[in-house]
Structure 1
Amino acid sequence: MSPSDRDNRSTPRTERQNARSVRRLDTPGQNRRWKLNLDSDVVGVYSERVARFLGTGRYLAIQTIIVIIWIFLNLVVISLRWDPYPFILLNLAFSTQAAYAAPLILLAQNRQENRDKVSLEEDRMRAEQTKADTEFLARELAAVRLAVGDTVTRDYLRRELDDLLTELSDRLLGDQAKREEQAKREEQAKREEQARRDDHEREERTRSGGVLDD
């Protein structure tokens, strides 16, 4: 077999290999590894519930009762002894509980820290908004004061009204005194007129009596 025939045979094989490599590069690779998809919010909610339960007196009482019953049955009831002294299975249960409790508590703390951060951010934004509103109101109030600087103030108007009220009161009192004095004068005039009439009537009676005597 000549070298040229070998080259002709190897060329199609090389082309097929190159085509396969190109096709593999053009085709997106598929990740066949199995992934565990868990919702972080759901895990966080359950972890907070477990952490809250672990920090209650109810959990402590239940665990104490279970441990006492466990030790009592394994020490006294020989027929039901499944974990004899030194209680290796009980120690394993405590170790497993501690191994799961610590991450759950950390998850609950992380969620609480995130909530605290959000709350602090909202408080900061609210404080900034309140500060901006206060500054705006202060500027508006200063502008209003400048605008009404040349107008009548409340104290000045109050003093003017007090003076006017005093003057009106004096006038009313003076008019009332004048009316009372006028009424007294009229009453005195009436009395004098009545006295003159009485004197005139007496004179008339006296004259008429003298004529009758004559």
Structure 2
Amino acid sequence: MYKSFFKRILDLILALVALPFWFIILLIIGPIIYFQDKGSIFYNAPRLGKDGKVFKMYKFRSMKMNAPDLRNEDGSTFNAEDDPRLTRIGKFIRKTSLDETPQLLNIIKGDMSIIGPRPDLPEHHKLYEGNEARKLEVRPGVSGFNQAYFRNTVPWKERIQNDIYYIDHLSFWLDIKIFFKTAVSVLKSEDVFVKESSTEATKNKKVSM
């Protein structure tokens, strides 16, 4: 019942409550993003949603206009603290995860959930193997199991298996644990940027459920 009904109701209520506070963030961050390079405030990224539907995921723009698209070997997006594509304000909003806050609008629209698998790029759909397409069984989330416990320290394929683990164990209490673990990770700025190999990072992480 939670997965099929109450989760969506809870998402909508919390997003509407948070919306006025997000408008304050928009009024502060928006002009800074614009005046640093006279570019757009938002970055609307196409992403895979529930059942493979493509939607526009909203983010505050953290990179310079017309920055090149860089990818890691596994096809995931490149992410590093010294990335020259980031603007000055972009480094700050990326590190504090403020760049993700416009996804409140995606939650209200029904594209996303507060907690769920992070959405993949549309072209990743054809790269899924075995049971990996199962991550599309639920709405993608602003945060999720990977973001709470590993953030950016595990490879893409491993993230997908963690997403499937989440789907198989989805419950109200698991969402609560992920929510508060995410809050702690954001406040500590843990694992925002990849600083070591994914294999070593995984070895050094211990997940406590």
> Shorter-chain TM-score category?
under 0.3
The one of the two structures with greater contact order (alpha-carbon pairs below 8 A, sep at least 6) is 2
Structure with more of its chain in helix, by fraction:
1
Whose Rg is larger?
A: 1
Instruction: Compute the TM-score of the two structures, normalised by the length of structure 1.
Output: 0.18
Instruction: Compute the TM-score of the two structures, normalised by the length of structure 2.
Output: 0.18
